[in-house]
Structure 1
Amino acid sequence: MNRPLPSPRNLARRLLSLGRGRGLDLSGQASFAVPAQAITTLAGPTEFRDTLLSLIAQARRRIVLVALYLQDDDAGREVIEALHAARKAHPDLSVEVYVDWHRARRGLIGKGDSEGNAAMYRDYAQRLGEGVVIRGVPVQNRELFGVLHLKGFIIDDAVLYSGASLNDVYLARHGRYRLDRYHLIRHQALADSMVGYVDAQFRGRDAVPRLDRLPLPRTRDLQEPIRRLRQSLQQAQYEGISEAPGDGDVAVIPLAGFGRNDNALNETLLALLRGAQRRVILLTPYFNLPRQVRVVIGHLLRRGCQLDIMVGDKTANDFYIPPEQPFSRIGLLPYLYEANLRRFAHDHQGAIDSGQLNLWLWRDGDNTYHLKGLLVDGEFAVLTGNNLNPRAWALDLENGLLLRDPSRRLLPQHEAEWQALRRHATRLAHYRDLPGVRSYPPEVRKLLRRMRRMRLDRLVNRLL
């Protein structure tokens, strides 16, 4: 029988004990003892793509893929064709894909009206059969106010975890890539727990329709089912019988988070930051930290903890529009993030000068940056799709894997990942090294002035 799981608030209290020197109490949690050798950090998007396709081809019992989207492009079609091929080779294989409902039914931003990726799903189902079930998850009634940002590909007893979605740039097709983090964990109980969450929250719910067949319901007709889904998600956590870690094991704790209150993932992230003793590495693609995180970072710096923050250069942002291309309003976002970073650097210039705070800007040609997560004191790591921004904090459905590694068996992998990232990163020596608003393109300066005059900049930051 499963042990009762504590409330998110109780989980936060236990994690807060890190800062008081009592250690991390995992009793009663869905915590899985994973041998360190069963956890692998993949080197990059090409290895991630190859591993995903290999796992799909080898699958015999189940495939459950959860991502923001599965795109109608070469890489997306390669994945969906691999899924159909696996199902054809093994008719008893269960294949389910869950993507965001709103994102699947629209075209790309700025590309005009479209039936979205759902049209591709229906086309494959009509040609190859309905053995690959693709469902859309509407976390909110409108995409602006929240999306499915849950992550994890479970294939038999393997968990392939990344913040990446499935398209050409995430899977490094056609010479460009969007860099994320990629981890493969082979452990049956963890895989069962992650599948159990998806089954309990999504499978069979009226709010989660199939996208691979017609007719599709209207979102307005799903309002009451969506309300019930939100209520369920606010209470939901991963379940499972806890396992006591042995020598050489890593405790892996899957956590979900949805909404501002009693959000286990948010509280865990804050608790880990508060309890840090020596060093924190924080990764985020969009520098727009929630207020609570900024406050804790201030405390960390005041008590002498070393802090490394890596973000993407504005040109490595997926919304960046080069000057030679026609500008649209979505191209304002990278400049907003850069302005946030410049203000943060200004406020903490003393810590930058002393080397206590290191701000790293990642850039590699025309490739883009999408990393997120925490590394704390060499013992704790958080793998997550959470962007560490106000939207993730309050609107989107997020999850993450907390890894506790007291023996530091994974430290060589973490260090190798960090060194690889820094090969394409530059340390910011002074806030003035970042351009000011006066140097921005005229269209950007005009939009920023208008937003500040109407006091919309804070609202926009909360929705980003």
Structure 2
Amino acid sequence: MNKLIAAPGRLARRMLPFRRKPEMHAELPFFAVPADAIAVLPDPAAFRQTLLRLIAQASRRIVIVTLYLQDDDGGREVLDALYAAKARQPALQVSVFVDWHRARRGLIGKQKSEGNAGMYREYAARLGPGVDIYGVPVQNRELFGVLHLKGFVIDDAVLYSGASLNDVYLVRHGRYRLDRYHLLQHRGLADAMAGFVQRHFVESAAVRRLDVAGMPSTKVLQPAIREFRHDLQRAVYEIPCDTLDAGEVAVTPLPGFGRSDNTLNEALLALLRGTRQRVILLTPYFNLPRPVRIVLGQLLRRGCRIDIMVGDKTANDFYIPPGQPFKAIGLLPYLYENNLRRFARAHRRQVDNGQLNLHLWRDGDNSYHLKGLFIDDDVAVLTGNNLNPRAWSLDLENGLVLRDPAHLLQAKHEAEWAALRRHATRLADYHALESPRRYPAEVRRLLRRLNRTRLDRLVNRLL
């Protein structure tokens, strides 16, 4: 965080205002997936149980794509399951893709270490080959963007969540970080998602194994990373021209990377603009990209209802409780709360009349990591995209767009939304948020410094 406060001007050049995106006139291609082949898992425990069950039953392939597979009890449980599955089925293909930079460093605020890659090498040395773990360097430095693609493909199943793999996401030791969890059983969709990483990751010179000795430095890989970025900006999922029959839902996987010609960003904006009555937006960090804020303002002027659910600042994974040593990274939850306060104040009339509903989620000392959209009663977006400027222009993202004209999934979506609201409180107005004057002294000092130098705008674009 201290480095961000003193960030050089070249960071700003990477985050220039977004160009106007062309409208998406053509209808998205899709896989026709039976509605009864799409399940919503209720909680992190069900996610963990389902993941381990699918791994244990796998017979052909396991392709896991996640930000990180952590060196802790939760991560080791998954890695143990992968090696056990390979031992049972020697012909099983097992591939894990994680962010290159994230895997090679220790946790923020902790002592320096060789990171999760050390665990991967230790497992390979002890248990032998068969579980291939790759590092994906989306950018030259982690600050400029990470692998944020999501989706676990196990045989013909797609387990989709924004969660990574560690203790808190897998509800180990009594705490959890809430995400969304969906299981889709469809061979074509599974083939498309597995094929994407095979074409664009495995075949790239920038993507290297982390479970072997002698890894090259990031500096050596820089020419390959530049070529990799160019490839990602053109990358697409291979999707057929299906037709929708009775009992089926249209599912479209979309990648997103870069500030311009970003397929996922364009689709999200087009879907939002097409709203007829209502939008539900989920984001863990209230820091909406400018194009999204503009469209939401247009929808409010048209009379649409908007519900936005975010985590309370105490449910943010960077929150530092009073009494614990403060680090600069602990400023982030307060920055997001200030963004929310400004938004609520700007739209206080719509908040007062119930057209705009801002929900704060909090459940004890657990944390909140939800992302996605519900639009009217017939569109849902499953994504790991945080709907913030970093996701919008720096990270490699993806999402599944579910279009359901027959409302076959409506009951499942309504049940999911109702379950989320059980731990959420609607803001009556912006005064319901803690006043900045009551923030801890160190937070107030850093906020004054950011505001004085106008670096708060840059920080918001990077985080």
TM-score, with structure 1 as normaliser:
0.95
1:13 to 24, 49, 56: 24
Counterpart residue number, 1:267: 266
Once residues 422 and 455 of structure 1 are traced to their aligned partners in structure 2, the CA distance between those partners, rounded to angstroms, is 36
Q: Deviations over 1:144-201 (max 9, x none)?
A: 0000000000000000000000000000000000000000000000000001110111
Contact kept? 1:69, 1:100, Cα under 8 Å: yes
Once residues 283 and 241 of structure 2 are traced to their aligned partners in structure 1, the CA distance between those partners, rounded to angstroms, is 30
State the Cα distance separating 1:10 from its structure 2 match. 10
Q: Deviations over 1:338-395 (max 9, x none)?
A: 0000000000000011000000000000000000000000100000000000000000
Write the mapping of 1:147-162 to structure 2, written as runs, cut at 5 A. Answer: 147-162=146-161
Once residues 48 and 13 of structure 1 are traced to their aligned partners in structure 2, the CA distance between those partners, rounded to angstroms, is 34
Structure 1 segments unaligned to the other structure (5+ residues): 1-8, 16-24
Counterpart residue number, 2:211: 212
CA RMSD, Structure 1 to Structure 2 (Å): 1.1
Counterpart residue number, 1:277: 276
Once residues 14 and 34 of structure 1 are traced to their aligned partners in structure 2, the CA distance between those partners, rounded to angstroms, is 23
Q: Which amino acid aligns with 2:448?
A: R
Counterpart check, 1:52 vs 2:63:
no
Once residues 223 and 10 of structure 1 are traced to their aligned partners in structure 2, the CA distance between those partners, rounded to angstroms, is 29
Write the mapping of 1:35-74 to structure 2, written as runs, cut at 5 A. Answer: 35-74=34-73
State the Cα distance separating 1:336 from its structure 2 match. 0.1
Counterpart residue number, 1:460: 459
SS in 2 for 1:402: strand
Once residues 408 and 208 of structure 2 are traced to their aligned partners in structure 1, the CA distance between those partners, rounded to angstroms, is 43
State the Cα distance separating 1:11 from its structure 2 match. 8.9
Once residues 124 and 14 of structure 1 are traced to their aligned partners in structure 2, the CA distance between those partners, rounded to angstroms, is 49
Contact kept? 2:24, 2:267, Cα under 8 Å: no
Counterpart check, 1:317 vs 2:328:
no
Q: Which amino acid aligns with 1:127?
A: R
SS in 1 for 2:239: coil
SS in 2 for 1:13: coil
Contact kept? 1:63, 1:156, Cα under 8 Å: yes
Counterpart residue number, 1:201: 200
Q: How many residues align?
A: 444
SS in 1 for 2:123: helix
Once residues 401 and 369 of structure 1 are traced to their aligned partners in structure 2, the CA distance between those partners, rounded to angstroms, is 21
Q: Which amino acid aligns with 1:69?
A: Y
Write the mapping of 1:402-421 to structure 2, written as runs, cut at 5 A. Answer: 402-421=401-420
State the Cα distance separating 1:12 from its structure 2 match. 4.3
Contact kept? 1:48, 1:182, Cα under 8 Å: yes
Q: Which amino acid aligns with 1:380?
A: V
Q: Which amino acid aligns with 2:275?
A: A
SS in 2 for 1:14: coil
User: CA 1:248 to 1:124, structure 2 compared with 1: closer, same or farther past 3 Å?
Assistant: same
Once residues 378 and 365 of structure 1 are traced to their aligned partners in structure 2, the CA distance between those partners, rounded to angstroms, is 31
Counterpart check, 1:328 vs 2:327:
yes
Once residues 32 and 210 of structure 2 are traced to their aligned partners in structure 1, the CA distance between those partners, rounded to angstroms, is 36
State the Cα distance separating 1:242 from its structure 2 match. 2.4
Q: Deviations over 1:24-80 (max 9, x none)?
A: x34xx2x10000000000001000000000000000000000000000000100000
Contact kept? 1:339, 1:436, Cα under 8 Å: no
Once residues 177 and 244 of structure 2 are traced to their aligned partners in structure 1, the CA distance between those partners, rounded to angstroms, is 35
Contact kept? 2:310, 2:359, Cα under 8 Å: yes
Identical amino acids, percent of aligned pairs? 70
Contact kept? 2:75, 2:165, Cα under 8 Å: yes
| Runs of 4+ deviating beyond 4 Å | 9-12
Once residues 452 and 350 of structure 1 are traced to their aligned partners in structure 2, the CA distance between those partners, rounded to angstroms, is 27
Contact kept? 1:12, 1:264, Cα under 8 Å: no
Counterpart check, 1:308 vs 2:319:
no
State the Cα distance separating 1:240 from its structure 2 match. 2.8
Contact kept? 2:304, 2:355, Cα under 8 Å: yes
User: CA 1:11 to 1:403, structure 2 compared with 1: closer, same or farther past 3 Å?
Assistant: farther
Q: Which amino acid aligns with 2:25?
A: R
Counterpart residue number, 2:115: 116
Once residues 375 and 236 of structure 1 are traced to their aligned partners in structure 2, the CA distance between those partners, rounded to angstroms, is 26
Contact kept? 2:158, 2:190, Cα under 8 Å: yes
Once residues 400 and 212 of structure 1 are traced to their aligned partners in structure 2, the CA distance between those partners, rounded to angstroms, is 28
State the Cα distance separating 1:14 from its structure 2 match. 2.2
Counterpart check, 1:353 vs 2:352:
yes
TM-score, with structure 2 as normaliser:
0.95
Once residues 249 and 434 of structure 2 are traced to their aligned partners in structure 1, the CA distance between those partners, rounded to angstroms, is 43
Contact kept? 2:21, 2:266, Cα under 8 Å: no
State the Cα distance separating 1:452 from its structure 2 match. 1.2
Once residues 78 and 242 of structure 1 are traced to their aligned partners in structure 2, the CA distance between those partners, rounded to angstroms, is 40
Write the mapping of 1:3-402 to structure 2, written as runs, cut at 5 A. Answer: 12-14=23-25, 25-26=27-28, 29=29, 31-402=30-401
Counterpart residue number, 1:444: 443
SS in 2 for 1:382: strand
Once residues 345 and 302 of structure 1 are traced to their aligned partners in structure 2, the CA distance between those partners, rounded to angstroms, is 15
SS in 1 for 2:182: strand
